[in-house]
Amino acid sequence: MTDGIRLSEFRLDDGTRDLLGKEIAERVAATELDSDADEAILATIGAHALGNLLPGQVLHELEIFSVAGAHALILGNLPRQDFPDTPVHGYGDETGLAVINALHFGLLQLLGATPFAVSYENDGRLIRNVVPNPAASGITSSWGADSEFFWHSDQPHLPFGEPGTDPRLYVPHYLSFYAVRNDERVPTELTAVDGVAEALDEHTRTLLQRPEFAVGVPASNDMDGSVRELAPARLLETAPDGRLRARYDRGTTRGVTEEGATALAAFSESLTGAGSRELVLNAGDFMIFDNTRVLHRRKAFSPLPDAGARWLRRIYAS
């Protein structure tokens, strides 16, 4: 089975990277800029520099990404800075990461995406440090390492939103990442929802589009009594643009009817053999993918010692 992933991939030359890093570093040096309190300022600084220095083809691909049908986009060899040790316990000093935060928020602005934080995850902060947190040992979480994080979409227990609505109430449309370090060479694997669906028989596909399922809160979420199980729910839906979208987490999804349970088992079994695209992000790489049209996973791995352990920076956007 092929992965079905449509990927747009670009890499900056070293000269453009260095000019971009210099311009952003100069612009953020005058004040301390926090990723939550000063997100709009960081985005403006980043988008201005990126708009001036990125090649025209890259700018065009960023502009059309949301409508062109690609599942994911990677822009490699972005500026880096002097980084502290990996914050394996979850949080660190955001003001010291202003250069890469301006890059990340600026790219989202050029993509036409709105970054957002949610109260029920990551302590309500915009940027999540995807790190091997010892407190998450044995948990299927972006803070985990020793357990496989099987195919899933993020926050599948929420309804799908549409343009012009408050994104915090709905499934995040996009997941975006900046890689600080990944010396373990751990891949993020993607598989396209439509490709998985095409491998199923028509009857199973029909059942998956019926409201015969319940989807619970992921284990990585903070305790929040306002976040509930979504039921009855459809696992597969056709979006207003005609594309197939999905919600799924093996650990929190169940069928509420006998037919639904059978269809869910077939879907989960199909995923065990699904074709996937293994994307290893190197330091300075940016990636964004469509969380409604792509399922992703991360296999278990052995992290390096804390100071140099894998560290990605994730932002939800819609």
Which residues are annotated binding-site positions? 296
Compute the distance between CA of residue 212 and CA of residue 234 in angstroms, rounded to an integer: 7
Strand ranges for 101-210 from DSSP E: 115-116, 127-130, 149-152, 174-181, 188-192
Question: 48-57, long-range: CB within 8 Å, 24+ apart, which pairs?
Answer: 48/106, 49/20, 49/23, 49/24, 49/102, 49/106, 50/20, 50/103, 50/106, 50/107, 50/110, 51/110, 52/23, 53/16, 53/19, 53/20, 53/23, 54/12, 54/16, 54/20, 55/10, 55/16, 57/10
Amino acid 303 reads P
Compute the distance between CA of residue 209 and CA of residue 75 in angstroms, rounded to an integer: 34
**Which is it for strands 149-152 and 294-298: parallel, antiparallel or unpaired?**
antiparallel
User: Residue 15 gets which letter from DSSP?
Assistant: H
Please check whether residue 303 is in contact with residue 134, taking contact to mean a CB–CB distance below 8 angstroms: no
Q: Burial level of 235, CB count in 10 A (0-12/13-18/19+)?
A: buried
Compute the distance between CA of residue 173 and CA of residue 113 in angstroms, rounded to an integer: 9
Compute the distance between CA of residue 174 and CA of residue 168 in angstroms, rounded to an integer: 12
Binding site residues for Fe cation, as ranges? 296
Residue 293: name the closest of 178, 190, 167, 165 by CA.
190
